[in-house]
Amino acid sequence: MEKIVRKIILSVTSLTIFAVSAPAKQPAYPVKVSENSRYFVDQKGNPVFWLGTTQWQIFREYTLEEAGTILEKTGSNGFAFVQAMLMGVGDGTQPNVYGQKPWINNDPLTPNEAYFKNVDSVIRIARENNLVFSVTLYHQRYRNYITLKNARAWAKWLAQRYKDVPNIVWSMTPEAKQEFVPILRELAAGLHEGDGGHHLITFKPDPAPYSSSFIHNENWLDFNSMQTWNGVKLIYPMVTKDYNLKPIKPVLMAEGAYEAGSEYGFDVTPLWVRRQAYYSYLAGAHHTYGHNDSWRVLPTWKKALDAPGACQMGVLKKIFLARKEWWYLVPDQSIFASGDKTDGRVLNLAARHKDGKWIMVYLGSKTSFSVNMNKITAASKVNAFWVDPKTGDSVSIDSLSNKAVGSFSTPDGWEDAILILETSDGN
């Protein structure tokens, strides 16, 4: 009944939903960077698992009711973050589905209140569904309108408007060229002036592939983001490079090949979607998924919300959250005694808890390999089991000693596989 009532309100007016609707469960955001600078936490210091999805056009190309459908399904599928372009794809001047342009006379310093009331409402619905928006306030395609001269004032206005809105992270998308650094600095300065540094700031270079590490030392850059497009083989080396930079900052693989996309030179199947995600996490990064039909706003966009790859990202999240202190993941290829693979498009990667309480090994295809069992913290026995990344189903392996090398072969009939080793005494 509650959902029915809310949808009726949605169809009436965006202002009504923003003023009347109250989330049943409000997340303790805004999100912050952890003390060790590897992951994200909420205001109370609780670890936050960044599993993102892209809905670049949600503020512009969907009605408020359609946006509600997207966000409800996104939250129920396990995603916690939604990446969106504030003015949508293009040069920033196109109107939304209600005919409202972002700016009056295409001037960022005269924002259109009607456009941003709709944005307000979409962000509010996301909060109801425990979702955080990563909002792109600048894209290199906006450069004719957001300039070095007005960038700071534009960003300050936005930051002031959303200063007290908890579920926002700010993002910018220039080309990976030094010529864009001055405008990024102006935008960051405006955001800080507007909200006092209340929300995190990142940026993701476009076109791909590139990471934000080329300006890693900028003090306003709270975490690194990257885009690999069809470069699946680039995920591991790009993440590893950013992971090892100093000072330490979280790393986000923010955009790869979209499920069911047709422009990459290979079919982006659910298997490829899983590979991209596990490569990201086991290399020490966080990950954002995307579906072709969503960002292109195809007639099949609603069906795409439950695409196999999207649902399997929810499986991935459950697998990680089931690990004790999952946030203390450390990439460690020395876990392999044999069979590791970090080059090419089909990889075998491993990571562990910082104190050896568990090991996770991802195998991108059918394979045999061996593991140095002493990577598990001191315990007479370890529990071992397989997990199918496609379904989440697990298959137990007899308890193993942690004093030797263990040999394994992935289960028959599985496209990819996860091996979990955990201490048997629960420590």
Write the pLDDT tens digit of every residue in 346-385: 999 999 999 999 999 999 999 999 999 999 986 667 899 9
Same domain, 264 and 339: no
Q: What is the number of alpha carbons within 13 Å of residue 331 lying toward its C-beta?
A: 23
Hey, what amino acid is at 47? P
Over residues 42-69, the mean pLDDT reads: 97
Helices H / strands E in the chain, number of each: 11, 21
Residue 341: CATH number of its domain: 2.60.40
- Taking a C-beta distance cutoff of 8 angstroms, is the pair 205, 227 a contact? yes
Same domain, 266 and 123: yes
Total domains in the fold of the chain: 2
What is the model's pLDDT at position 27? 46
Q: State the chain's mean pLDDT as an integer.
A: 92
User: Side by side, which strands form the sheet with 405-409?
Assistant: 336-338, 368-372, 405-409
pLDDT in tens, 194-221: 999 999 999 999 998 999 999 999 999 9
CA 384/CA 396 separation, integer angstroms = 6
**For the chain, how many residues are written?**
427
Same domain, 297 and 173: yes
Same domain, 90 and 167: yes
pLDDT in tens, 30-41: 899 999 999 999
Point out the least confidently predicted range of 116-125, 274-283, 375-384.
375-384
Answer with the one of 283, 298, 321 that is the final residue of a domain. Answer: 321
- Domain boundaries, position 102: 2-321
Same domain, 294 and 397: no
Same domain, 304 and 395: no
Of 270, 265, 254, 258, nearest to 298 by C-alpha is 258
What is the model's pLDDT at position 20? 29
Query: Cis (ω within 30 of 0) for the bond into 247?
Result: yes
CA 243/CA 17 separation, integer angstroms = 41
Same domain, 211 and 292: yes
Which residue(s) pair with 48 in the sheet?
A: 40
Measure CA of the first residue to CA of the last residue in the chain; give whole Å.
Answer: 45
Residue 35: CATH number of its domain: 3.20.20.80
CA 384/CA 401 separation, integer angstroms = 10
Q: How confident is the model at residue 427 (pLDDT cuts 50, 70, 90)?
A: low
Percent of the chain with pLDDT over 90: 88
Same domain, 237 and 355: no
Give, for 384, the enclosing helix (H) or strand (E): strand 382-387
How many CB atoms are located within 10 Å of the residue 398 CB?
Answer: 7
Same domain, 295 and 385: no
Answer with the one of 271, 304, 321 that is the final residue of a domain. Answer: 321
In sequence order, which ranges of 228-358 are alpha helices (DSSP H)? 235-243, 270-282, 292-295, 301-304, 308-321
Same domain, 194 and 269: yes
Answer with the one of 276, 306, 321 that is the final residue of a domain. Answer: 321
Same domain, 309 and 393: no
- Taking a C-beta distance cutoff of 8 angstroms, is the pair 382, 399 a contact? yes
**Look-up of token digits 């007899």:** 398
Same domain, 42 and 160: yes
